[in-house]
């Protein structure tokens, strides 16, 4: 019989960081090395970008449709960011967690703080760019936003970086593979926490010793 019985429920992992820090790139690579994760698909009222795949990168809806869903209590959390709504649909999250899967939310900071209020045991990871210069380079190279939008995202980034202390972990995304490994290590370590232990099964020590040391003829094993 196994000595330990640990909590089977998955962990809720919240990943934030300035736009362009590399959150989506890291999560895509994480999926290749960790099959026990499910990445929540958010809903947004922002315009579809050339690299978006509807119902895969986001569920795209109009502002009015989004507001209707807010009224209907569809979201675990939602926030307004850069002039658009973004929200995490509640459904599916609990099922995945109950199936022992780690659920990943890639969301901005206001939303992350709401999740922290609702689910304090969630794990909060902040992805940090190596420098502001590199962040600017990545946003420009990604080529998905106008200069105006990039300017705005850059201004928001300054505010966001000051919130890093509200998170449990920070991963600097300099070398991509290293950053992916660090995030995966956090997920693996969190599974090893002592507070996940639900029961410890140890037989009577006298009986166990007798069986192990006397009946199994340990003396002989040692002499050989
Ligand atoms: P976010 O999801 O945080 O907005 P993305 O994952 O879209 O950021 O990454 C922004 C840009 O930076 C993308 O073009 C991506 O290919 C690039 N990128 C991500 N990580 C790295 C890295 N470690 N080194 C260089 N470029 C990176
Ligand atoms: P983007 O427009 O670059 O796809 O996303 C802008 C920001 O919104 C990113 O920081 C992204 O993580 C965040 N975001 C995406 N989905 C959600 C969500 O469901 N809730 C919240 N609060 N933020 C989200």
* C-beta 45 within 6 A of ligand 2: no
- What lies within 8 Å, CB to CB, of 67 at 6+ separation is 85
Residue 203 is assigned to a structural domain of this protein: no
Q: Is the CB of 81 under 6 A from ligand 2?
A: yes
Q: Over 80: is that where the pLDDT of 222 sits?
A: no
Residue 224 has pLDDT above 70, yes or no: no
Is 189 domain-assigned?
Answer: yes
For residue 212, being part of any structural domain is answered with no
How many angstroms does the Cα of residue 148 sit away from the middle of ligand 2?
18
pLDDT on residue 220: 64
Q: How many domains is the chain partitioned into structurally?
A: 1
pLDDT for 58-80, tens place per residue? 999 999 999 999 999 999 999 99
Average pLDDT, the chain: 93
- Residue 210 maps to a domain: no
In a domain, 180, yes or no: yes
Residues facing residue 58 across a β-bridge: 42, 54
Q: Quote the CA–CA distance of 214 and 224 in Å, as a whole number.
A: 16
Identify the pLDDT of residue 204: 81
Phi, psi of 133 (to 5 degrees): -65, -45
What pLDDT digit, counting tens, does each position of 90-124 carry?
Answer: 999 999 999 999 999 999 999 999 999 999 999 99
pLDDT (mean) for 165-194 = 98
Nearest atom in ligand 1 to the alpha carbon of residue 21 is: 3
Q: Is residue 171 part of a domain?
A: yes
Taking phi over 0 as left and psi of -120 to 50 as alpha, with beta for the rest, 100 belongs to left
- The whole-angstrom separation of Cα 93 and Cα 111 is 16
Has residue 209 been placed in a domain?
A: no
What CATH number should be reported for the domain holding residue 69? 3.40.50.300
What ligand 2 atom has the least distance to the C-alpha of 42? 19
Parent domain of 128: 8-197
DSSP reduced 3-state for 144: coil
Q: Are 13 and 187 in contact (CB under 8 A)?
A: yes
List the residue whose alpha carbon is closest to atom 21 of ligand 2: 107
Residue 218 has pLDDT above 80, yes or no: no
Q: How far is CA 29 from the centre of its chain?
A: 13
pLDDT digits (tens, 9 = 90+) for 79-97: 999 899 999 999 999 999 9
Q: Please state, in angstroms and rounded to a whole number, the distance separating the CA atoms of residues 206 and 139.
A: 65
Ligand 1 lining (C-beta closer than 6 Å): 17, 19-25, 138, 141-142, 173, 176
Q: What is the pTM of this model?
A: 0.92
- Domain presence at residue 211: no
Best residue among 25, 42, 137, 176 to mutate for probing ligand 1, ranked by most atoms within 8 Å of CB: 25
User: For residue 223, what pLDDT is reported?
Assistant: 59
Q: Measuring CA to CA, how many Å separate 149 from each of 19, 92, 108, 136, 197?
A: 11, 32, 16, 12, 47
């Amino acid at each position: 019989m196994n000595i330990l019985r640990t909590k089977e429920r998955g962990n809720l992992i919240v990943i934030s960081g300035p736009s362009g820090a590399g959150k989506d790139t890291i999560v895509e690579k994480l999926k290749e090395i960790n099959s026990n994760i499910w990445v929540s698909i958010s809903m947004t009222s922002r315009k579809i970008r050339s690299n978006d795949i509807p119902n895969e990168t986001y569920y795209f809806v109009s502002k009015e449709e989004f507001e209707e869903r807010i009224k209907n209590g569809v979201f675990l959390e939602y926030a307004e960011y850069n002039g658009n709504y973004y929200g995490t649909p509640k459904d599916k999250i609990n099922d995945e967690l109950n199936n022992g899967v780690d659920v990943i939310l890639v969301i901005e900071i206001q939303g992350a703080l709401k999740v922290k209020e609702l689910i304090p045991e969630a794990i909060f990871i902040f992805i940090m760019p190596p420098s502001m210069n590199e962040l600017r380079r990545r946003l420009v190279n990604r080529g998905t936003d106008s200069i105006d939008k990039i300017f705005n995202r850059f201004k928001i980034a300054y505010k966001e970086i000051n919130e890093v202390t509200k998170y449990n972990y920070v991963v600097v995304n300099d070398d991509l593979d290293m950053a992916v490994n660090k995030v995966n290590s956090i997920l693996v370590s969190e599974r090893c926490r002592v507070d996940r232990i639900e029961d410890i099964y140890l037989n009577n020590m006298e009986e166990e010793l007798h069986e192990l040391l006397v009946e199994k003829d340990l003396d002989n094993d040692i002499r050989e």
